[in-house]
Amino acid sequence: MTTTMRNTTAAMAIAPNESAGPIRLTELVRGSERRLLEQLGQLARRQSVALDLASVQRIDAAGISALVALYTTARNAGHSFTVCNASPRVAEVLALVGLDRILLSRAAVWNAHFGHRLQRTAA
């Protein structure tokens, strides 16, 4: 099985070959999660995805639910889904609900615990 990893940012959360416009998010909260799910859900079914959340400063239960849904979609299709470059606040929220070990790349988890933001995306 060949797996392609594509780094995708929340600011530009759509593959270049997709026809829909980019997603520009500074928060992943109720109301903003639907477009992310619609566009990245299809991508996660086709390949592994690393979602760059550097521009996202706020996340709520709807945003967390969207990330879990994308993770589940990718895993059911035999791919991976990770989050990288999470802001300290977003990383803290993911850790509080126990999703840091599942969603964040290992380097991002390590850096979140020491208060540093991951400077490069996982490749």
The confidence score (pLDDT) of residue 47 equals 96
Question: How far apart, in whole angstroms, are the C-alpha atoms of residue 9 and residue 121?
Answer: 9
Question: How far apart, in whole angstroms, are the C-alpha atoms of residue 105 and residue 38?
Answer: 23
- Which conformational region is residue 83 in: left (phi greater than 0), alpha (psi within -120 to 50 degrees), or beta? beta
Question: How far apart, in whole angstroms, are the C-alpha atoms of residue 121 and residue 16?
Answer: 17
The confidence score (pLDDT) of residue 70 equals 97
Pick 61 or 105 by higher pLDDT. Answer: 61
Pick 111 or 92 by higher pLDDT. Answer: 92
The confidence score (pLDDT) of residue 39 equals 86
Q: 16-22: long-range contacts at Cβ-Cβ below 8 A with a sequence spacing of 24 or more?
A: 18/43
Q: Give residue 122's pLDDT band: very low, low, confident or very high (50, 70, 90).
A: very low
Residue count of the chain, please give it.
Answer: 123
Mean pLDDT of 79-104: 94
The mean pLDDT value of the chain amounts to 77
Q: Give residue 35's pLDDT band: very low, low, confident or very high (50, 70, 90).
A: confident
Predicted confidence (pLDDT) per residue in 36-49, tens digit: 999 899 999 999 99
All domains of the chain, ordered by start, with CATH?
A: 5-113 (3.30.750.24)
